[in-house]
Amino acid sequence: MAFTLTKYLHPIENPIVLSGHYNYVLDNPRTEDEIQLVRRFVFKTLDRRDGDRRVMPLIGRASYALDTLKEWQDANEPDNFATQYINANNHRPTIDYLCKIWIIIRFDDDEIFNELKGNDEGLIHTLMTRRGKEYEEKFERLSNYCHLLSVLGHQNEEFWETTYHGESFLLVNDPYAIFFTSYSDDIYNAVEKYTGFNSLADAGNRVTSWLYWQDGSSYLIEQGLRLDTLIPQPLNWVEGPKKPISQKQTPKQKLEHVGSIFNSAFKLNSDPKIMLLLLVSIIEFLLTRNPDTSKFNVEDSIGKQFKLKCALVVHNQNKTIDLKTINDKLKKIYNQRSDVAHGNYNDGFDIREVVNSVYDLYVFLKCILREYIDDRDVIEFAKDN
């Protein structure tokens, strides 16, 4: 099967199904060909020496952190598969060890992927002739799904304290990146995070991270299984004179559309104004409808729907959150959306407030998606009424 890398590193005893519907599977590289492909991709990044000679190179810090993790696991989880794996393999060069425990995600078998492993000339030919269009589409579908699942799978300590900005657990967003050998900040940052959290394995007050496998994996996998209950569901429409607006797309079509917007929004994370427009459009897509233009001011009516429907859904997911607080945030977000869409930048416009609203939008969207999984009828009723 084709595969790409995630931001997780950890020994996995057996492959883990992330999505049975799409046949996405989390695993470690198993064959020598797979291990060598990963090694070739990450080697230049991990072998690079930092410019500041006072700082230990990343690969040295990784080696030290692995020793620290080994000591902690020997003391706390001696029978754990990861502990036994580390004990059996810690004598290997650190780069080789990391390549073997890098968590990959397998997706559809693909002829182009199999052709390109270690074939630089074939890669150039494929890029120039666009022979890999089908492979690119498979990868894009995977990337969109991972962004969707990441919104559901990230965990925040406090409801309003999250600074999640749409990051995916997928390492790269380019279908051909794994075949290149240049330095990558994405690889560096993934190992840096893994190294840092390993070093703090025994710290009682360590902050958790959903991008550290031991902290976030079980919740992420749980959300993948939950998504699988919704994705294959058919339309709910019963034959009648008029098809409800909520039944114009299946849940799968809606979720794939939402995933593609999450993906696009994160690619544009240097411009929070565009992110805000895109994220608001997801809420409108899932919850609001066009009103009767002969009776209402369209924008005003959609704004009211946006605030009312979103607030009720979010409150339904978390009853401890004050409805007035939610409404005030949604009112500010929709006003910002109108200002950005119509270019109404006055003296009071503050980009920092837009950034905070982007954080809040991810909180709201996580609640809406969870409600869609928990009770699809609620979301579709809100859309139609």
pLDDT in tens for each of the 385 residues of the chain?
899 999 999 999 999 999 999 999 999 999 999 999 999 999 999 887 666 555 677 888 888 888 888 888 888 888 889 888 888 887 778 899 999 999 999 998 888 888 887 677 777 777 777 778 899 999 999 999 999 999 999 976 556 567 899 999 999 999 999 998 889 999 999 999 998 888 776 666 677 889 999 889 999 999 999 999 999 999 997 777 788 999 999 999 999 999 999 999 999 999 999 999 999 999 999 999 887 655 655 555 888 999 999 999 999 998 888 899 999 999 999 999 998 988 887 767 788 999 999 999 999 999 999 999 999 999 999 999 8
Beta strands in the chain (DSSP E): 2-9, 16-19, 24-27, 102-107
The contacts of residue 219 (CB under 8 Å, 6+ apart) are 153, 155, 210
Task: Report pLDDT for 10.
Answer: 93
Q: Which residues pair with 107 in a beta bridge?
A: 2
Cα 23 to Cα 167: distance, rounded to the nearest angstrom: 22
Q: Is 305 exposed, middle or buried (0-12, 13-18, 19+ CB in 10 A)?
A: buried
Cα 325 to Cα 323: distance, rounded to the nearest angstrom: 5
Task: Report pLDDT for 297.
Answer: 59
Query: Between the CA of residue 363 and those of 24, 33, 107, 167, 369, what are the distances in Å?
Result: 26, 41, 29, 13, 10
> 47 by DSSP, 3-state: which?
helix
**How far does Cα 345 stand from its chain's mean position?**
32
Neighbours of 342 (CB within 10 A): 9
Task: Report pLDDT for 249.
Answer: 96
For the record, the structure tokens of 16 come out as 């883990």
Q: Which residues pair with 347 in a beta bridge?
A: none
Query: Is the Cβ–Cβ distance between 83 and 77 less than 8 Å?
Result: yes
- Which residue has tokens 């729907």? 305
Nearest residue to 257 via CA among 163, 144, 380, 181: 144
Q: Which residues pair with 24 in a beta bridge?
A: 19
For the record, the structure tokens of 205 come out as 């007050």
Cα 254 to Cα 319: distance, rounded to the nearest angstrom: 26
Query: Is the Cβ–Cβ distance between 179 and 136 less than 8 Å?
Result: no
Cα 117 to Cα 34: distance, rounded to the nearest angstrom: 9
Task: Report pLDDT for 202.
Answer: 64
Nearest residue to 371 via CA among 284, 253, 286: 286
